[in-house]
Amino acid sequence: MNIYSLMFAGVGGQGSLLIAELTSLAAVRAGYDTKQTEVHGVSQRGGSVETHVRFGDKVHSPIITPGEAQAVIGLEKLEALRFAHYLNPDCGTILVNDHELIPGSVANAEKVYPYETIDFLRSKGMKVIALPASQTARDLGDARMANVVMLGALSTLLPIEREVWDKTLHLRIPAKYLQGNLKAFASGCEAIQKVA
């Protein structure tokens, strides 16, 4: 049994910690040994947030070594680029939300932002799947659900049954947000089938 190593990367407030937690909970529910760790950085000020999730028959450490991840999930283009070196070049996929958050605290940020991130990563031979998760979430009525759209897409790449994901969402998401998040998850599942 392979160990699945997943790197979640986003900016504070995007919900990368939530979808990493949901992934860990689903993996445990599916019977896997699971480990998770996170680095918040200056997340409350819009800084980077990275979370490592590993699951399999037996996992000894939550830390992912660069070049080991089966998936890097970037909730924003710059964060996907920042953590792309964690991707396993032989079998990994970068899932990236085709969304740009220009750092307000960086001088001339609009001029130096890596707008061509997706093309750049592909030019390096990486498998990149770009999804309009933020737009999909806005179309569903709440832009904050972009993270769960990405989670739905990721779920199609993992050996965890859909019913396990649904049960995990039901148990973890507050009732008043549940239906919207179930729709967001389903939209992510559908979106990746169209582009993968």
pLDDT value at position 110? 78
Given this model, what pLDDT does residue 98 score?
A: 94
Instruction: Report the number of distinct structural domains present in the chain.
Output: 1
- The pTM assigned to this predicted structure is 0.92
Residue 152 gets the label, from left (phi > 0), alpha (psi -120 to 50) or beta, of alpha
Task: Tell me the C-alpha distance between 139 and 16, whole Å.
Answer: 20
Residue 97 is predicted with a pLDDT of: 96
CATH of the domain at 42: 3.40.920.10
Q: Where is 17: in which H helix or E strand? A: helix 16-29
Query: What residues in the chain have per-residue pLDDT under 50?
Result: none
What is each CA distance from 67 to 61, 73, 84, 85, 167, in whole angstroms?
16, 14, 9, 6, 32
- Residue 146 confidence (pLDDT): 97
pLDDT recorded at residue 142: 95
pLDDT computed for residue 48 by the predictor: 81
The residue among 66, 71, 74 whose CA lies nearest residue 55 is 71
**Residue 39 belongs to what domain range?**
4-195
Contact 171, 138 (CB under 8 A): no
Which pLDDT value is given to residue 158? 97
pLDDT digits (tens, 9 = 90+) for 19-64: 999 999 999 999 999 999 977 555 555 678 899 999 999 999 999 9
Q: Which amino acid does the sequence have at 152? A: G
